[in-house]
Amino acid sequence: MRVLDLTDELARQGARLLVGLGADVVRVDDDLTGPERLHWHAGKKLAQADLDALAQEADVVLESGPVAQLRGLRADGTSRWPDAVHVVVTPFGLTGPRRDWLGGDLVLASAGGMTWLGGKPGGPPEPPPREQACQLAGAHGAIAALLGVLSGTGQLIDVSAQEAVAATLETGALAWIHAGRVPVRNGGVYEHVAHRIFEAADGYVAGGYSGSERMWTGLRDWLAEEGEAGDLLDERFADQVVRWAERPHVDTVITRFVAKRTAREVAEQGRARALPWAEVTPPAELAGNPQLRDRRFFVSVDGTEDAGFPWDAPGLPRPVTLSALTEGTWTSAPGRPRPAKTRPLDGVRVLDLTWVLAGPYATKILAEHGADVVKVESKHRHDPTRFSTSMRLRPGAGPDDSGYFLNFNRGKRSVALNLRTPEGQEILRELAARCDVVVENFSPGVLAKWGLDHESLRSINPRAILVSMSGVGHSGPWRTAVTFADTLAAMSGLSAETADPGEPPTGLAFGLGDMVAANAAVLGALDLLVRGEGGHVDLSQLEAMAATMGPAVLGSPRSTPHGVYPAAGDDRWVAIAPQDETQWAALRTLAGLPPEETDALAAWTRPQDAEALAARLQAAGVAAAVVATGRDLVQDEHLAERGFYERLDHPIAGAVLHEGIVARLTATPGALTSPAPLLGQHTEPVLRELLGFDDDRLAALRAAGITE
């Protein structure tokens, strides 16, 4: 696949991910130096040819930047290169009242709602480190590129970086949609699962006790063996509701336990006991991680070791060596023509064996763009997003109208199968034989017990794509590790960088790692669909997160955001990030500051309305945005005009807003076609349609408890 890379910081990660998938990528700009150049442009070629000539030879043009600076956009808003898949990533999208606003990572993390979720109680909001907003936008740009190729139609694709972030907040906006509540900054303590960062004797660990009941009983037994369980052995703590209500007390007991041990000891014992605990590792120490080493995660760029790519699989091998940016042009042939489709994934059937967040987020994206997603679930294996009261968000909600589940499972069909039974497993194999893609996030080895590992699947469905989304991959010394979003962030180096100087790390209070991994899983599946090949995408969620550390492994210092400043009102903030000397001068003029004075900026912003101030700054050419809460996003006039939040009618919940589609394909647009299913809502229709089961067979399955 020939890709013309016209990206800036907004979508560099997208071009890099396409390099990792084997695309032939050409740039026309040599815009970086040092470690940044080595990381972002490795594996690409630098061409001095005419831009229009290059674009006409490309399968994909991936472009990013402010709307006014786009080279491929005509004055009427159409593409200069209509025969190519032309993906445009801009700060706020190509339409809407803020289409001309400026923004880098801090502004977009703030406008998209991510900054609000970080930081300490009572302190200013803080964005995640390592330019995660821009990297999310880039990943969605890469997804858009592959969707465009699969559509068989040259077209312009609009990706808003703000929306890429707003679709990645876990409950950040959903809490407002379903409960009229805004999550507050709490120093990295997860609000809906009992996970956080604890201080060890010599460092920090991430962990907790949510998820399956074994996460609690295993931790309790560990504490008991060491004689440090205290009153947690009381029978009342066997009740999840009681544990949740008394979480501060439970956390205090665990804090004392962890503080007596080294971080490595806690992490190693956690892995040995299959419990979700991990050491908070600085990025500079990633190179010593035995799991990443064993799986050959790192890539050598002209002899210098850098972070690698999220996937490794038969038929989808990631590069282990790359060359730095060198002059040249494409050596590959143009991609082959494809039949045009109404939506890119029309005719693709996906068997969804995932739960919680990472897997459902990935299959949600596939469903949006036309895939028929058949979700297998059961009352015998409780998905916490259906069954855990802390994750339902909606007051009084039950398993069928959990707000969390509704958002991430719209557009799917639900088949209830008890996979603890041989007959349930046999039906699962029959379904897999009739699907194009199987997505799973079980622990390594589970599918093999059911006869659905890659070799077994290939024997019954040679062209099937199996996407495995385990925590650390299906191979390596840590392959059995149990992971949550917080432990993945800890292992990847990201949590360590949330520490202010001289302060402990706070980590992240939402599942960013899950959604980063989901985007990578989608890319792996789409790439094999583009190639028309079956294969096994062995995605490591740890590697997906580590791949977003930018040039950290190379020793590049993290970028320092320009600043979040107080505004008028209770806990209102504005992000201000001048991107060059011209913007700094405009800001100083507007604020009435002398050239050498910037410390007084907070005094100038504090009495001003955040929205009015952001608009005033943008009008003066200074990148700025309100630090948006979930409420701000849902009520945002720009997002409303773009139709980002879409309403679907659910049979129990009624009319409910959902986070919308990020990749806006102009010729073959995606769609939210149906609300999330009730548990087992489509069991009988699917088994009739795909497997030909008759009334007698279905009745027998019901009577035996197989379809529940």
Amino acid identity of residue 418, one-letter, is N
Helices (H), 534-591: 541-546, 581-591
Question: In this structure, are residues 334 and 350 in contact, taking their beta carbons and an 8 Å threshold?
Answer: no
The beta strand positions in 120-257, using DSSP E, are 155-160, 195-199, 204-208
Question: In this structure, are residues 393 and 658 in contact, taking their beta carbons and an 8 Å threshold?
Answer: no
Instruction: Report the 10 Å Cβ neighbour count for 128.
Output: 25
The single-letter DSSP state of residue 230 is: G
Question: In this structure, are residues 490 and 279 in contact, taking their beta carbons and an 8 Å threshold?
Answer: yes
Closest C-alpha to 381, from 212, 217, 241: 212
The beta strand positions in 138-242, using DSSP E, are 155-160, 195-199, 204-208
Three-point CA angle 603, 92, 131, nearest 5°: 70
Amino acid identity of residue 655, one-letter, is A
Closest C-alpha to 98, from 624, 666, 581: 624
Structure-token pair, residue 622: 């200074």
d(CA 5, CA 11): 9
Helices (H), 493-629: 512-531, 541-546, 581-591, 601-605, 610-619
Structure-token pair, residue 470: 């385990």
The single-letter DSSP state of residue 284 is: G
Closest C-alpha to 125, from 509, 485, 492: 509
Q: Which of 352, 383, 486, 514 is catalytic?
A: 514
d(CA 156, CA 147): 12
Question: In this structure, are residues 355 and 383 in contact, taking their beta carbons and an 8 Å threshold?
Answer: yes
Question: In this structure, are residues 546 and 492 in contact, taking their beta carbons and an 8 Å threshold?
Answer: yes
Q: Which residue has the tokens 């330019």?
A: 131
Amino acid identity of residue 196, one-letter, is R
Q: Which residue has the tokens 């910081």?
A: 9
Burial state string for 65-76 with b = 16 or more CB within 10 A and e = fewer than 16: bbbeebebbeee
* Burial of 507 per CB tally in 10 Å (0-12, 13-18, 19+): buried
What Cα–Cα distance (Å) separates residue 689 from each residue in 349, 692, 705? 13, 6, 21
Q: Which residue has the tokens 């000891």?
A: 265
d(CA 263, CA 613): 45
Whole-angstrom Cα Rg for the chain: 25
Structure-token pair, residue 20: 């990792």
CB neighbour list of residue 66: distance below 8 Å, 6 or more residues apart? 90, 91, 100, 102
Q: What are the DSSP calls for 285-340, one per residue?
A: GGGG-HHHHHTT--EEETTEEE---S--BTTBPPPSEEPPPEE----SPPPPP---
- Confirm whether 514 is a catalytic residue: yes
Catalytic amino acids?
514
